[in-house]
Amino acid sequence: MTEEQPAPADLRRTGIHPDYWYPLAVSRRVRKNRTFATAFAGERIVLYRTASGAVHALEDRCAHRQVPLSMGVVEGEALRCCYHAWAYRGNGRISQIPYLPKGAERPPRGVRSYPVREAYGLVFVFPGDPAKAAAAPFPDLPEFRSPTHRTMTFSRTVKCHYSFMHENLLDMNHQFLHRGVLGRIQPKLLGYDTGPSHVEARYLFVPAGGRKDRGAGLLSGEGFSGGNTSDVITIRTGYPYQTLQDVPERSQLPAFSLWAAYVPEDAEQRVNHAYGLLMIAKPPVPGALDLAWPLIRRFTERVFAQDRMAVEAEQRAWDEQGEDRNQEVFPLILDVRDVLRANGVPLGPVRAAGAGAPLCGGARAPQAGSPVVTGGLA
């Protein structure tokens, strides 16, 4: 008689691992001499760009009275709290307390600082052990700076656990959801492989009739004349990121590539901020992609809206049931769940969320779990 294996841990109670580089803002939204409030898994973080253009990330609280530093003022290379004007350097150290008597020592501790890297039009922060930041792998996206490609950036808050996002993109059997945008598609799994920190799948997308959004054809390189060619779609969850490539049937090169990261905002990790870079190959005709851009943008927005509706419904079901009652049958998704569990961390106890503090100017500071970055496709 064989012993029953214990049920795997509920993936929706698994936190994302902090020892990776995560985008926490679109670069253009972190303006010079301004603060920007954001969050990672319940940790409130303030980004600010100094007069020299450097971006820093600090724990979003003053060491003095715990007032959010995102309510403060950037002066030169320092960030000054709006309450008692304590000033902080980019490393989190206190650089000035205006009313401190001469000869008196400043408090030995300031606030936590986070390693920051700015790349691909995004501000990346390393929220884990700072000693591991230099050796941690950083996304390599050669198409982003290639003159043969143009990149569409997206930034959206989605009210679900980040794992639902990985499952949604990796499981292409849900094309029925997009039938009004893509027409009827017959996805065929060509094969997949998995390892300790990745799952990669290849699909053949075969059109099977129905009306397709014009932007879909333009994105996949069919041109303004349209067409119904098949495409090979390769999707990879390489923890903690996700990528997708589309290679049209009669081509050797991808028509587009997508890189995405899903960053939990709240401590319970039931809300994530999805950042994505859609790198689209320019067609041979000069200026053709510029003309197609609004149609591609509308198409991507429609697809994302449908996917968001589905994953947020999954999260609501989990919330109502208090557990994961999914009856999954697709081996690929069972494998990616194992990868996300194995590489994640247990969620700790969640502190009760307090009311947002009033800003010095009368507004309110964003709370962990609230949409702290807004904006659409660009």
pLDDT in tens, 25-78: 999 999 999 999 999 999 999 999 999 999 999 999 999 999 999 999 999 999
d(CA 22, CA 214): 33
pLDDT at 352: 41
Question: Where would I find the beta strands (DSSP E) of the chain?
Answer: 14-15, 22-26, 35-40, 43-49, 55-59, 73-75, 78-80, 87-88, 94-96, 113-114, 116-119, 122-125, 149-158, 185-195, 198-207, 231-238, 241-248, 256-264, 272-281, 345-346
Average pLDDT per block of 10 residues along the chain, 378 residues long: 72 97 98 97 97 97 96 96 94 93 83 98 98 97 94 97 98 90 88 97 85 84 66 96 92 92 98 98 91 95 96 97 91 96 86 41 37 33
Pair 189, 332: CB distance under 8 Å:
yes
d(CA 82, CA 37): 14
In the three-class reduction of DSSP (H, G, I as helix; E, B as strand; rest coil), residue 36 is classed as strand
Pair 114, 92: CB distance under 8 Å:
no
Backbone φ and ψ for 203, nearest 5 degrees, come out as -120, 150
In the three-class reduction of DSSP (H, G, I as helix; E, B as strand; rest coil), residue 312 is classed as helix
Pair 206, 184: CB distance under 8 Å:
no
User: Tokens 């194995």 appear where?
Assistant: 342
Structure tokens at 104: 């008196």
Question: Can you give the pTM of this predicted structure?
Answer: 0.89
Structure tokens at 340: 């996300």
